[in-house]
Structure 1
Amino acid sequence: MKVMTVSLSPNPSPARGGEGRFVSRIRDFHINPSPIPTTVLGIRATLRQFTWALFCALLGGFPPAAGATAQVMGTMPSLRIETGTHVAPIRAASMDRDGRYAVTASEDKTARVWDAASGSPLSVFRPPSGPGNDGKLYAVAMAPDGAVFATAGWSASNDVYLVRRSDGQIIHRITGLPDVVTHLSFSRDGRMLVAGLWGRQGVRVFQGTESWSSARELQGDPDFSDEVNASVWSPDDKTVVVSSADGFVRAYEATPKGLRLLSRSTPGTGVPFGLAFSPDGQTVAVGTSDQGSVALLDAKTLKMRKVLSPAKGSLARSLSVVAWSTDGKRVYAAGSWVNDKGRFAILVWPDAGQSEPSVIPVARNTITALHATPDGSLLYATADPAWGMLAANGQSQFTIGSSLLDFRNQRSRFRLAADGSALAFQDARPGDTGDAFDTRQLAWAKAARDWQAPRTSAGKTMVDNWFERQQPSINGKGLGLDANEWSLAASVSRDGNRIAIATNFQIRLYDRNGRALWKTAAPATPWQVNTSDDGRWVVAAFSDGTLRWYRQHDGNEQLVFFPQADGRRWVMWTPGGYFAASPGGENLVGWQVDRGSAQAADFYPVSRFRTEYYRPELISEVISKGSTDAALAALPASAAAPPGGQAIRERLPPTVRIVSPDASNWPAGSDIKLQVAIRAPADAPPTKLRARINGQPVALPALSALRSSRADANESIYEVPLSLSGLEAQILLFAENKHGVSPEATLTLKKPPVTAKEAAAAANGMGMPAPASAPATGGVDLRPALYVLAIGISKYQDPSIQLEFAAKDSTDLSNFFRAQEGGLYRKVSVRLLTDHAAKRDDVLDGLEWIRRELTARDVGMVFIAGHGVNDADGTYYFLPQDVNVKALKRTGVIFSEIRNTLVSLPGKAMFFIDTCHAGNVLGTGARSLRLDTTAVINELSSADNGVIVFAAATGRQYAQESPDWGNGAFTKAILEGLRGKADYNKSGRITHKMLDLYVSERVKSLTEGAQSPVTIVPSGVPDFPLVLGQR
């Protein structure tokens, strides 16, 4: 195997020393298209090694140490980040022949299927995988009919997985190939698959059955002197063209027995890489991995017809991937080529290369794939990671971008509190500002001036040659890193006795004499490292967007923090699985559970284990106590479940997937039957199946009453009848067992175009009430009714916990909604409970009232304003007017009463919670009480519960109220928004998403950032209007 190279700009940015020099270089060294992380064998020039290290650093991953082989598949559940998009470079992308579906394969160990028209996610394939490189995917190809895709990457047996597109399940596995697969391509009829291999193993060809449930190997060609880069089939399926890093382009005749070599040539324009046939089959476009040009070769002879080059004066980097428009008029090329503003661009040659190219900048990193569609659109994928679609005119249709923070070039901003409990950092993207997070408060914070950035010297201790070097030194003594290991960051402790070094492979700690104390494997490329002044912690920031705390005395990882780039969602966890999260943040990480080498892995967000593992009180004490174990020991004995993957495996909920129908147009009629597969552990069989359509609960028969068949020992297929209405149905299914609720299975069905009259009648089924000007259809008023339960308590029986505006808030909101009757709503019913009318029994009666009155056509809102607390077990209680805080279980309203009401409402359910008020409620003799509404928000707004939650404040913030406003800040913003200020586009209606946007910004403005409201909308719930405004 050989070292991968990267292209060097002839115009590198000037070196500035330190980290700035590295960042300038990293912008000039870009991804080589060759995908395989492998060892460097033999002695290479220093520049070549440096190039390889920078390539790996840019991708966020490095090869295993010399002599390593693919890891054996892991069997213990492992924690993985999940943002709904890729979190590592996209290595390959493909589409079906009609351009309906896109599939992307990534080093994050997933392949994701998308709706090519909208960018909406459809399914995820998670290969069996272990630590390190095991499970990373480098190649993908979708069968022309879109039913199946093939993908491959790093695995112990060099597997190729044939995966069902609709649900991400493995249909067949081709195994035992002699080396890692670098490229895959289906024949145009979908019956044959070419696999290009790493090293000198050449190409293999397989013929599959119609469904690819089995395959047999045909004659390939192992006679290569370097890795295969790409392959492409001619439009008539008679010819296969292959490019290789050995410099040759080869043409083969495709026969029933396999491939027969016809010719080979060296284009002379550089190392051949990407390939694309012209639609007429006469010409092959060849991209190059080391030059900025494209060769157009005669498809039969492979002789040069024309060389396409960028305009003069451009930065000539690689044009490694190519595509040809389906009408034959445009040739596309991209790679590490950038425009004069440093943006990675797609070059478009009109007239089949007869004119100068236009330049379309699209990315911040190397473009790794291009694919033309029948309608003239173009798919592109990048190492950002991101992907998107361009229209035929070059305009962007959409981009699905990265949600990761970028910690490069942040050394001066990577500042740590003296005790390691709080950390300041900043995203490197232009225009962003610094930010900080406090692990004790579990909240965003403002960095203090005395927080320390990484030192490179302290006292008589100095670390040198630590940045992008293989020989860092401490006081002149070289540290002797492993082969191919590069130092990327360093930090000297305050007393100079300890030095942390972050390398492409590991986090290392040394003493002042250069003696190695410990090392621990880096989960991704570490961009920053720092040491706490109290000598207890080493903290590092990684390319996967995580920040991790390691104990300084032994290097044991104790805490991981993952903030999304927008700062709105975050999750923090221990290696054993205990976690804390922001509202909406508990689905950002989850447990992957492998099921064997021939089965796709399962994934369970940590939200599925919320009851036992959501432990913010533990997380907030890890740093101060010094370890997870110490923080755990401080909790009551029954407060937490055992940590670790084995404990998770013993607590698994079921999984559910929809076998048929596939996502497509609406089947004929309004009644459909789903084929649903439910799998559960043998000792915890499924007990119930639940459904929501467009966010609303739908009654289903008991599992025992459904027709079923056994698929295997732990999986059964059920026939589930559903009745649909409206123009679009987003169906969510959930299975339950004794451990909990499964992740949802989702299916979206769209009805073909209908008449205007039918659309008006059906709109109510989608949550879009009929306009006030046309309230009736066929003599039936189709508008929904609105039911509001408004509870506000200012004058508590306990004089020490009084509030000023809680009762007025609920009164004002009630009066507003009463006035909406006859407009959007045919009827508005309000039950208002304030002060002495809001005793515990009154509140419970009110909850029963709204549950009894609401129908499936209606909208239900519950608004509570007052005090709320969490007991020692984390259980939330709303405090009614007659509460005795010392007898909370007997006199408070437990959260389960509120939850059970809201989740059982048959119509649309909304919950407004404003109970995070400051005051003496936590100081009335109940020292074990605390304030945190996050668990309440996350549980109600989970997809299986389906409640839209508007919360006045997040985490442990206090809600503000002021005489100057006449209300609490939250209610004031809600009323302003509903009265028209949230109607930014003057559309004449205000939806819940529009109200969310207004309330979020308005409350922050009113409170000068002291209060941050949050709205969480469950998946599967469409936007719908709350009130009609003034046009």
Structure 2
Amino acid sequence: MKPPSILIILLTALAFTGCTAQTGQKPGHAAGSLVGQALAKQIQKPDKPAPDERAIKRKNKTTAPPILSIDTGGHMAKICDVIFTKDGKYLVSASNDKTIRIWNVETGGIERIIRGQMGEGHEGKIFAAALSPDNRWLAVGGWMKGEDGNHKIRLIDFHTGKVIRLLKGHENVILALSFSPDSRRLISGSADTTARIWDVSTGTALHTLSGHTERIYAAAFSPDGRLAVTGSDDDTLILWNAGKEPATFQKLSTLTGHTDKVKSAAFTPDGRYLLSGSWDKTIRLWDGKTGEFIKVMARQDTTVDSLTVTPDGKRVLTGSGDGLAATSCNIFSIPDGKNLTSFTQHKNIVLATAVSPDGRLAATGGGNDQEIYLWDIGSGRVRQKLAGKGKIVWSVGFGRDGRSVAWGQTWRQEKLFGYGELEQSFRLSESSQGFSLGLGETLTSDSGYIRGIESAGSISIRTPDGKINPTLQILENGKVKHEITRGSTDGNSHRSLTLTPDGRTAVSGGSNGFLTSYDTATGTKLHDFIGHTGDVWGVAVSPDGRMLVSGSDDQTVKLWDIATGRNLLTIFHASDNEWVAWTPQGYYDCSLKGDQYIGWHLNQGEDRSALYYPASQFAEQFRNPFLTAAYVETNGDLDKAVALAESRQPRKHKIEKTEITEIINLLPPEVFFKTPGSDTETKESTICIEAGAESLTHEPVTDIWLTLNGKQLRGIVRINKQSSDPDKKLSGKTASIRQCLPLDPGNNQIAVFASTKTGTSQPAILKIERKSAPAQTQEDIYKPDIYVLAIGVSKYANPAYNLNVAHKDAEAIAQTFSAQEGRLYRKAQIKLLTNQNATADNILDGLDWILKESTQKDVSVIFLAGHGENDDASNYYFIPHDGDVKSLRRTSVKWFDFQDVVSRLPSKTLMMVDTCRSGNITGTRRRGAGDLTEALRELIQASPGLIVMTASTGRESSIEKPEWGHGAFTKALVEGLRDFKADSNQNGSLEIMELNNYVTDRVKQLTKGAQHTTTEIPKIMPNFPIAVK
């Protein structure tokens, strides 16, 4: 049994909300389909700014408050289009979440994101997108209603992401888009029942095609551009004469025969056939010249909401709409309709389809978690999965002690009081002393949690059939006392239910983010809980009846004050175990990298691209764990929360409240490359770079600098006002830098940063591949050295601290890298400090050694295994053999000493840390005591090119077992590096990304989910080999 189809549930709720899917690369690749997905206004992280957008940003017209949005690394609402670029290297995806993402087909990574004007609710939702065959233009339509009341189509320069012009005329949302084969015209279908043909060069509407009586979801040109077809909810298609002269536009024929809504249509590349897909679950074949019906070519078990014809015209790919059968996408042969391949990886409806230009790959987007699969058309084998780190929250619960909440992300059954088991807990408080937020344990049982309450005393609640239903019944002593029926304007249906423990209040989650409380005595509405942007699948109430927790397919968990309906906290938990929790004012707490998943979206006007900054950009103003927890504890009273947080912070200082509107005055400068202006290849050993910066506020640019492969080279001086270097210049609100840099063989990444007194920019990154020359120079064949400082303490002067295998971990890491001497590295220089030798003095001497010896061309590794501890002021210390936790400052190694050294190392630097929480469990031992998160955050901020791998996350414990001979972290590292199990592509060269992926999965497997590694690989660092066979 599959989860309830989101499509059918929302049809009446969003009568004119739509979404189309098309390939748009070759004539005849067009399709359309309805999406009834809930609001999802989350916006993603920025891509590298395009140089020709600078003029727009100089005219910054930001007046509306910034919008705090989620970026999961993938789509969060219905994917309405997927489109391959003409070279097949990239895939464009458009979504109801108001974003467009460009993915690298080979790597599965995101290359850039295009975003535009958006608002609360529907404003900015994308229902249709098309890429011109020449790849110059990207057209985007949906709910883009301006002040004039008309819905616009945004015509975007695909290469820069710049909005070039708005196409105005439609009176309702745009549901279908497709370019002509020569890229000069665009056809659009709308909920206003008309289609329009546009001149792309001028933005002029050449003709309005009237003839349908319902919404138009399919629109396409014939391969020769002389004909166009439209498909509608009136169950018909219309074939139009679409000659280049407006006078020739006329209806040729109406194609009837479908018995339900027509959602998709496409010509074969030779123009011989026209195919159409409908909610009647058939694919019909028509004559592509005359529109004459040929036959019902194929049937499938779900509605046909999308179809794409392959480039050879011999096959068609269909999406999977609603139906009773399991979700599958199909490949049918043309014209006989034989089912050649079925793809069943998606776990719900699929409304976006595309075929690669070479006809080998299918792209399908949809499912519960809005993932995109790239798969082999012939075999159905998955090549890539393109997805974010979030999942639908199906179930929630509140701890019976009131100190935690929990959620589950697996659908098991259609049950309004809980669709599945609870899987992950989140701490609200550790004791009666106050709230303290943090990720809790992975659950094996949810018996400690209150789920949706079905009855309390004489009061009970239900729907008439016990399933998702428009009507909620409130019963007293088993008799229906009140009925509450929802419609399209207030949630459509009741899909999650709970009573408060006293039975006085009923809470119901509905479609499109609706969450409402009702008085059970009168049946009247008490509060709307406003904040979710997707269907609400889970609700539960705290034991004292004060707070409500809810979960949604917007992939978030929210806490509410029941008495007022006020949102207290929103939580996002990523599949990599990072998390972030934030208040409505933007104050937040997070794991080490959790704030990468939220950021600030700044509108620039409907005719301009939007700006986006990750939350970390303004962490100084908004990241405050004490204030975030206090806000929940004080029921959302910010003034009381500030006072409470100030009293609890270990480093006492006054908290200055920052209004969201102040972000506009805190914007960092924009940075960009002038020469070269884009990624490039070279055979030269050096490259000359010219880059610039521009302030987006009234503040002047105070600094600009370059990094090469994550490091500032010795001899490259950051400029400031006193700089006299002629290659570097500061000029008030602008700055420039010109520098020639030495390149390593292979991949290099050059980044430019700039700052004003209010903040430092996100980097612009340039990728340079240095190709080997036919005859290598002595410099080219020179191998780097590797310097390894490996520290492991199992035996302490105080035996109460003793561990079992920390020293063995350090020895194994030293031996593993030592074996690379003569392979990847010329020399492996090792300093091993274990047990009695790992004193505070010896560790400090070791840090001095690695700093003195390593050079720009080398690799440095620092490995730590043992205990770590925080003092009362949250300063972190590594406990050496002779350390005393009661006298940390005097006897232990300050974290700042590590931070100071790694920030000054000129080499590529990798730090591996296994110093986590202690405690005994059966058959295992756990090491460490302090929370390393803040120490690591400071380390990363001080050393932007540092790669950090930690054994566990936050307060999580690091597990070691005698039968392993190591801690789980080191066991995974040794397997990956020494045994080469991390070499996923089996090419004999083990890259840092491969090692990270292996260690992450292996530690989770070894500890059965009890331990999760954390890795920070800066985006300014290229992927590079760490070992070779």
Under TM normalisation by the shorter chain, which class is it? 0.7 to 0.9
- The equivalent residue for 2:181 is 188
- The equivalent residue for 2:931 is 932
- The equivalent residue for 2:548 is 538
2:38 is equivalent to residue 60 of structure 1: yes
Stretch moving more, 936-945 or 682-691: 936-945
2:666 is equivalent to residue 651 of structure 1: yes
- The equivalent residue for 2:243 is 254
The secondary structure found in structure 2 opposite 1:255 is coil
- The equivalent residue for 1:770 is none
Uncovered stretches (5+) of structure 1, i.e. residues with no partner: 1-12, 14-22, 40-53, 64-71, 209-213, 762-776, 921-928
The secondary structure found in structure 2 opposite 1:862 is strand
The secondary structure found in structure 2 opposite 1:172 is strand
Give the distance between the partners of 2:448 and 2:852, measured in 1 at CA. 58
2:482 is equivalent to residue 498 of structure 1: no
Structure 2 CA distance for partners of 1:971 and 1:548, relative to 1, 3 Å: same
Question: What displacement does 1:261 show?
Answer: 1.5
Q: Structure 1: which amino acid aligns with 2:696?
A: P
2:528 is equivalent to residue 519 of structure 1: yes
2:862 is equivalent to residue 865 of structure 1: no
- The equivalent residue for 1:277 is 267
- The equivalent residue for 2:909 is 909
Cα shift readout 1:714-751 (whole Å, capped 9, x = no counterpart)? 77787776655544445554443334443344455667
Question: What displacement does 1:88 show?
Answer: 0.8
Structure 2 CA distance for partners of 1:830 and 1:101, relative to 1, 3 Å: closer
- The equivalent residue for 1:374 is 357
- The equivalent residue for 1:8 is none
The secondary structure found in structure 2 opposite 1:145 is coil
The secondary structure found in structure 1 opposite 2:518 is strand
Q: Structure 1: which amino acid aligns with 2:932?
A: T
- The equivalent residue for 2:434 is none
2:79 is equivalent to residue 90 of structure 1: yes
Give the distance between the partners of 1:725 and 1:85, measured in 2 at CA. 32
2:477 is equivalent to residue 462 of structure 1: no
Cα shift readout 1:96-145 (whole Å, capped 9, x = no counterpart)? 44434321110111011123444332110111111111111111111222
The secondary structure found in structure 2 opposite 1:953 is coil
2:961 is equivalent to residue 946 of structure 1: no
- The equivalent residue for 2:221 is 233
Give the distance between the partners of 1:25 and 1:1010, measured in 2 at CA. 32
Structure 2 CA distance for partners of 1:183 and 1:652, relative to 1, 3 Å: same
Question: What displacement does 1:268 show?
Answer: 1.8
2:378 is equivalent to residue 398 of structure 1: no
Structure 2 CA distance for partners of 1:805 and 1:283, relative to 1, 3 Å: closer
Question: What displacement does 1:577 show?
Answer: 2.4
- The equivalent residue for 1:923 is none
| Aligned residues with identical type, % of pairs | 27
Cα shift readout 1:660-713 (whole Å, capped 9, x = no counterpart)? 8676763675665667564433244444445555555567675786889999x9
8 Å CA contact retained: 2:670, 2:696: no
* Superposition pairs of residues 848-887 of structure 1, within 5 angstroms: 848-870=848-870, 874-879=874-879
Structure 2 CA distance for partners of 1:93 and 1:966, relative to 1, 3 Å: closer
Structure 2 CA distance for partners of 1:256 and 1:1019, relative to 1, 3 Å: same
Question: What displacement does 1:272 show?
Answer: 3.3
Structure 2 CA distance for partners of 1:1006 and 1:707, relative to 1, 3 Å: closer
The secondary structure found in structure 2 opposite 1:935 is helix
Question: What displacement does 1:557 show?
Answer: 0.9
- The equivalent residue for 1:421 is 404
Question: What displacement does 1:529 show?
Answer: 0.9
- The equivalent residue for 1:682 is 697
8 Å CA contact retained: 1:980, 1:990: no
Give the distance between the partners of 1:387 and 1:780, measured in 2 at CA. 41
Match of 2:439 among 410, 432, 442: 442
Give the distance between the partners of 1:934 and 1:857, measured in 2 at CA. 30
Aligned residues: 940
2:312 is equivalent to residue 327 of structure 1: yes
The secondary structure found in structure 2 opposite 1:309 is strand
Give the distance between the partners of 1:501 and 1:33, measured in 2 at CA. 19
Give the distance between the partners of 1:88 and 1:319, measured in 2 at CA. 20
The secondary structure found in structure 2 opposite 1:487 is coil
Cα shift readout 1:21-75 (whole Å, capped 9, x = no counterpart)? xx76538948879997559xxxxxxxxxxxxxx987x623499xxxxxxxx9992
Structure 2 CA distance for partners of 1:841 and 1:432, relative to 1, 3 Å: farther
- The equivalent residue for 2:5 is 26
Give the distance between the partners of 1:105 and 1:797, measured in 2 at CA. 61
Question: What displacement does 1:309 show?
Answer: 1.9
8 Å CA contact retained: 1:866, 1:917: no
Structure 2 CA distance for partners of 1:272 and 1:671, relative to 1, 3 Å: farther
Question: What displacement does 1:343 show?
Answer: 2.5
Structure 2 CA distance for partners of 1:493 and 1:780, relative to 1, 3 Å: closer
Q: Structure 2: which amino acid aligns with 1:560?
A: T
Stretch moving more, 794-803 or 946-955: 794-803
Give the distance between the partners of 1:967 and 1:298, measured in 2 at CA. 69
2:277 is equivalent to residue 287 of structure 1: yes
Q: Structure 2: which amino acid aligns with 1:442?
A: L
Question: What displacement does 1:576 show?
Answer: 2.4
Question: What displacement does 1:459 show?
Answer: 0.1
- The structure, 1 or 2, with the larger RCO (C-alpha pairs under 8 Å, 6+ apart) is 2
Question: What displacement does 1:90 show?
Answer: 0.6
Give the distance between the partners of 1:55 and 1:692, measured in 2 at CA. 47
Q: Structure 2: which amino acid aligns with 1:348?
A: F
Structure 2 CA distance for partners of 1:684 and 1:933, relative to 1, 3 Å: farther
* Superposition pairs of residues 82-481 of structure 1, within 5 angstroms: 82-157=71-146, 158-175=151-168, 177-208=170-201, 215-221=203-209, 224-246=212-234, 247-257=236-246, 260-270=249-259, 271-288=261-278, 290-310=279-299, 315=301, 317-336=302-321, 342-349=326-333, 352-354=334-336, 356-362=338-344, 363-384=346-367, 385-391=370-376, 393-396=378-381, 397-401=383-387, 403-408=389-394, 410=395, 414=397, 416-419=399-402, 421-428=404-411, 434-439=422-427, 440=429, 441-446=438-443, 447=445, 449-465=447-463, 467-475=467-475, 476-479=481-484, 481=486
8 Å CA contact retained: 1:239, 1:253: yes
Question: What displacement does 1:906 show?
Answer: 3.1
Give the distance between the partners of 1:652 and 1:59, measured in 2 at CA. 33
Query: What TM-score, normalized by structure 2, do the two folds share?
Result: 0.80
The secondary structure found in structure 2 opposite 1:586 is helix
Structure 2 CA distance for partners of 1:226 and 1:659, relative to 1, 3 Å: farther
8 Å CA contact retained: 1:182, 1:198: yes
Give the distance between the partners of 1:743 and 1:432, measured in 2 at CA. 41
Give the distance between the partners of 1:855 and 1:256, measured in 2 at CA. 68
8 Å CA contact retained: 2:577, 2:1012: no
Uncovered stretches (5+) of structure 2, i.e. residues with no partner: 19-32, 42-60, 414-418, 430-437, 476-480, 647-651, 921-927
Give the distance between the partners of 2:426 and 2:158, measured in 1 at CA. 42
8 Å CA contact retained: 1:562, 1:570: yes
Query: What TM-score, normalized by structure 1, do the two folds share?
Result: 0.80
8 Å CA contact retained: 1:454, 1:529: yes
The secondary structure found in structure 2 opposite 1:587 is helix
Question: What displacement does 1:353 show?
Answer: 0.8
The secondary structure found in structure 1 opposite 2:899 is helix
Cα RMSD for the two superposed structures: 4.3
8 Å CA contact retained: 1:943, 1:1020: no
Match of 2:604 among 575, 595, 600: 595
Give the distance between the partners of 1:787 and 1:62, measured in 2 at CA. 49
Give the distance between the partners of 2:289 and 2:791, measured in 1 at CA. 79
Structure 2 CA distance for partners of 1:273 and 1:436, relative to 1, 3 Å: closer
Question: What displacement does 1:910 show?
Answer: 0.6
- The equivalent residue for 1:957 is 956
- The equivalent residue for 2:1018 is 1018
Cα shift readout 1:928-959 (whole Å, capped 9, x = no counterpart)? x9822123445656898232222132211344
Question: What displacement does 1:435 show?
Answer: 1.1
Cα shift readout 1:813-869 (whole Å, capped 9, x = no counterpart)? 445544543343211223445678766665555434423322232110112334434
Stretch moving more, 119-128 or 390-399: 390-399
Q: Structure 1: which amino acid aligns with 2:666?
A: R
